[in-house]
Structure 1
Amino acid sequence: MPTGKSAAAVTPRRIAVLSVHTSPLAQPGTGDAGGMNVYIWQTSLELAKRGIEVEIFTRATASADQPIVEAAPGIRVRNIVAGPFEGLDKTDLPAQLCAFAAGVQRAEAREEPGYFDLIHSHYWLSGQVGWLARDRWGVPLVHTAHTLAAVKNNALAIGDTAEPQARIIGEQQVSDEADRLIVNTEVEAGQLAAIHDVPQSRIDVVYPGADLNTYTPGDGTAARRELGIADDEIVLTFVGRIQPHKAPDLLLRAAAPLIHAHPERRIRVLVVGGPSGTGLERPDALIALARELGIEDSVTFGPPRPPAGLAEVYRASDVVVVPSYSESFGLVAVEAQACGTPVVAARVGGLPVAVADGVSGRLVDGHEPGSWTAVLDELTADPALRHRLSDGAAAHARQFSWARTADGLLESYAKAIDARRAATQTVRRRRRRAGVRV
């Protein structure tokens, strides 16, 4: 990261953060709210602590949404009216981008010229708006995709729906136009370069983090008491949106043979989250699956929880399972480990960075239930192994803080602003040489 006067000279005063399809104020774990919401909110808090004003533009989803919400010191959320308040999901939103872009432009036009120093867009829908605003405002655009359509389509879960061609085209356009592209891991950097032909010189790898003040090791017995879980149960937990892509069904299928074969272990499966995406088509599918597998008495379902409540879930758990078909990073894995809970995760995307195999948890190749059963069998049978991984989990998670993420963002912002200034100065020099008044 740039240091000294150079870095200070290019630190933005105020940035526009674009998050079209979901508000950072929404509860993660249901609908379209997930890790991206957490990422935007936590990085905004860190930037605001450093004196940078953050204005987050998102689509209003209720008539009661106030146009402007002073969400925290230095953070303002602008709810832009674009399309119906309810009944739209991500697949419907491209048709509302013009209305959203117009709302963003009107908000900026009410301010003094040069109000924003930089735009940071999240997800391809926001990138489309950011591209337009960048050209209108004359400021750099930094973009974070969070997920790539081509990657998701190459790892579709059974019953899931492929991402549309419109998204693939839109991601290519944003990749071509953004001044800088931020990715979560080196794996994602390689995917972005290969799929969208982006030079590595325009890509910055910035690891996401966890709120290490909230997600800490704690009293697991008290957490279990709060959740109604017996002290002698071995708890295997899934946290996240209930949809095929996140594969919560895989945990049930993998745990079922162990529950039947080893009743003495008293295995409890805990699923915390709400239906999302294609999971909305069959919101009771997991309940039906638990019944079909004959383990309904050993499975507990809970709603999404705010951070403090989620930390209690992690502390009450013996193992957190992250079986996603693709994952650009996996915030749940880091949060759980920060609470001292080992994680069993799919060896996909950024999860090999989030989880240290054999140190803070275990990585599993593929999504065949038998492979997962074997790993869970080993862990549920060996308390000493779980204890060792628990110590490793807490230590591993400490390297992932939102403060370090903010450091990386500021470094990327500095590069974008420097490049924009250099380009502007080059244009001015050319005009002067051509005799054009500037």
Structure 2
Amino acid sequence: MRVAMISMHTSPLEQPGIGDAGGLNVYVLNTARELARAGHRVDVYTRATRPSQGTVVDVTEGLRVINITAGPYEGLEKAELPTQLVAFAGGVVEYARCHGLRYDVIHSHYWLSGQVGWLLRDLWAVPLVHTAHTLAAVKNSYRSEDDTPETEARRICEQQLVDNANLLVVNTRDETDQLVEHYDADPTHIEVVSPGADTKLYTPGTSRNTERSRRELGLPLHSKVVAFVGRMQEFKGPQVLIRAVAKLFERDPSRDLRVVLCGGASGATADRAYYQDMVRELGLHRRVRFLDPRPPEELVALYQAADIVAVPSYNESFGLVAVEAQATGTPVVAARVGGLPVAVADGTTGVLVDGHAPENWADALAKLLDDDETRIQMGEAAVGHAEEFSWAACAQRLEEGYLQARLMPQQDCSARRAIGDGHHFDHHGG
């Protein structure tokens, strides 16, 4: 098949952990690469953010990233991207027409891309497969008190996609339930496809690997180390970990513990200084280090250097960081939300924490940090658990979903008019 993937708001080639780049980028790049390896032709359309990128980037045989000019290269905030939907869609249409491209399926990622995919589906008369990755209604129900709520406009756009996409792809059954509960989705039009991890890259480290990684990162060889990897935003919960660590030192000031937070600023608290100030105010500046985001080849060393990886997110559609950490043999302490109960085997490969109270997180971290035998056993079990998730298997399931979508009937005009008349949105309070 020839597949058009739409990832408007962020390129799969961007460094995860910076700005809006994160697990979605990892997902798009790895699934597209595996689909190409399976013999399909994949074009990923994204918005150009630098003139030096060029229009086409050949990633590997069968996989290209096509940069579409839509609005200024720089200075356009994520909240302003809806103003460029028409320009972006027009650019995709023009590129495909000028190069005589015909696609068998469209796979859109995130709601902005979904709106473009919805239009292209009708223009090209091919099925639309959509992956939301995150949902406004779900984020609002889980967000912290300090986090900015998602807009009603976004929720309405997501509702349109739920109603009109040929197939919705989700990471877990929990996401299926969320789509049904918040968006009245038809379960027969939802396919659960678990993401994966690059288990050839993320591998368990030997004691020599760990020592080398700690020397390179400037971490004491004999200290306990807790790592956080992800965007520095309230929704990902770095503040939860920081406050929990403060509780640990309140209980035992002599505890030999170091914390590493690896990620770039993102979201409403878009200045990493916000978290650095929090660390200083809590007296942790000698215990906590901040690292810039790094490519996967370097991220392996951080996972291997850590005794525990913390994932205190308020929600995760799956939790790729958790799987990557476990693949390296590092147990995970994670919030019991979203797809994390699937990514982490509670009590076997890590610990799931209810809620985000610093006291509860301090208890969970202390229990694992102070029990070397259990922590090591969990690390060993984590490797086998992570091997259950692979990008090749994910791509194979996507291929099956694409074929399924191609067999589904296109929605007729009468159904489209009912939605446009507002009947559906009145039901949801929109």
Tell me the TM-score normalized by structure 2: 0.93
Alpha carbons 2:164, 2:411 under 8 Å: kept: no
| Partners of 1:136 and 1:421 in 2: CA distance | 12
| Partners of 1:166 and 1:263 in 2: CA distance | 48
SS in 1 for 2:272: coil
| Partners of 1:350 and 1:334 in 2: CA distance | 11
- Partner in structure 2 of residue 110 of structure 1: 98
Per the alignment, do residues 254 and 422 of structure 1 end up closer, same or farther by CA in structure 2, a change over 3 Å counting? closer
Q: Partner amino acid for 1:140?
A: P
- Partner in structure 2 of residue 40 of structure 1: 28
**What is the CA deviation profile of residues 38-76 of structure 1, one whole-angstrom value per residue up to 9, with x for unaligned ones?**
000000110010110110000001122201111222111
| Partners of 1:347 and 1:64 in 2: CA distance | 42
| Partners of 1:143 and 1:285 in 2: CA distance | 35
Alpha carbons 2:109, 2:132 under 8 Å: kept: yes
SS in 1 for 2:21: coil
Q: Partner amino acid for 1:255?
A: V
Q: Partner amino acid for 2:198?
A: D
| Partners of 2:390 and 2:212 in 1: CA distance | 26
Superposed displacement of residue 165, structure 1: 1.0
Superposed displacement of residue 331, structure 1: 0.4
Q: Does 1:274 align with 2:261?
A: no
- 1:20-419 equivalence runs, <5 A: 20-112=8-100, 115-218=102-205, 219-280=209-270, 282-419=271-408
SS in 2 for 1:297: coil
Alpha carbons 1:259, 1:266 under 8 Å: kept: no
Alpha carbons 1:265, 1:380 under 8 Å: kept: no
SS in 2 for 1:296: coil
| Partners of 1:267 and 1:93 in 2: CA distance | 42
Show structure 1 runs of 5+ residues with no match. 1-11, 424-438
Instruction: Provide the alpha-carbon RMSD of the alignment.
Output: 1.4
Identity rate, percent: 52
Superposed displacement of residue 368, structure 1: 0.7
| Partners of 2:388 and 2:13 in 1: CA distance | 26
| Partners of 1:324 and 1:390 in 2: CA distance | 21
Superposed displacement of residue 35, structure 1: 0.1
Superposed displacement of residue 158, structure 1: 2.9
| Partners of 1:158 and 1:200 in 2: CA distance | 32
Tell me the TM-score normalized by structure 1: 0.91
| Partners of 1:74 and 1:227 in 2: CA distance | 37
| Partners of 1:421 and 1:101 in 2: CA distance | 21
**Number of aligned pairs?**
409
Alpha carbons 2:247, 2:359 under 8 Å: kept: no
Per the alignment, do residues 267 and 119 of structure 1 end up closer, same or farther by CA in structure 2, a change over 3 Å counting? same
Superposed displacement of residue 260, structure 1: 4.2
| Partners of 1:83 and 1:44 in 2: CA distance | 26
Range that drifts further, 413-422 or 301-310: 413-422
**What is the CA deviation profile of residues 138-174 of structure 1, one whole-angstrom value per residue up to 9, with x for unaligned ones?**
1110000000000000111232111111100100011
| Partners of 1:260 and 1:302 in 2: CA distance | 25
- Partner in structure 1 of residue 6 of structure 2: 18
Alpha carbons 1:270, 1:301 under 8 Å: kept: yes
Per the alignment, do residues 421 and 162 of structure 1 end up closer, same or farther by CA in structure 2, a change over 3 Å counting? closer
| Partners of 2:391 and 2:302 in 1: CA distance | 21
**What is the CA deviation profile of residues 275-299 of structure 1, one whole-angstrom value per residue up to 9, with x for unaligned ones?**
011121x430111111111111000
Alpha carbons 1:16, 1:116 under 8 Å: kept: yes
| Partners of 2:137 and 2:411 in 1: CA distance | 34
SS in 1 for 2:159: helix
Range that drifts further, 234-243 or 282-291: 282-291
Alpha carbons 1:158, 1:244 under 8 Å: kept: no
Q: Partner amino acid for 2:3?
A: I
- Partner in structure 2 of residue 429 of structure 1: none
| Runs of 4+ deviating beyond 6 Å | none
SS in 1 for 2:43: strand
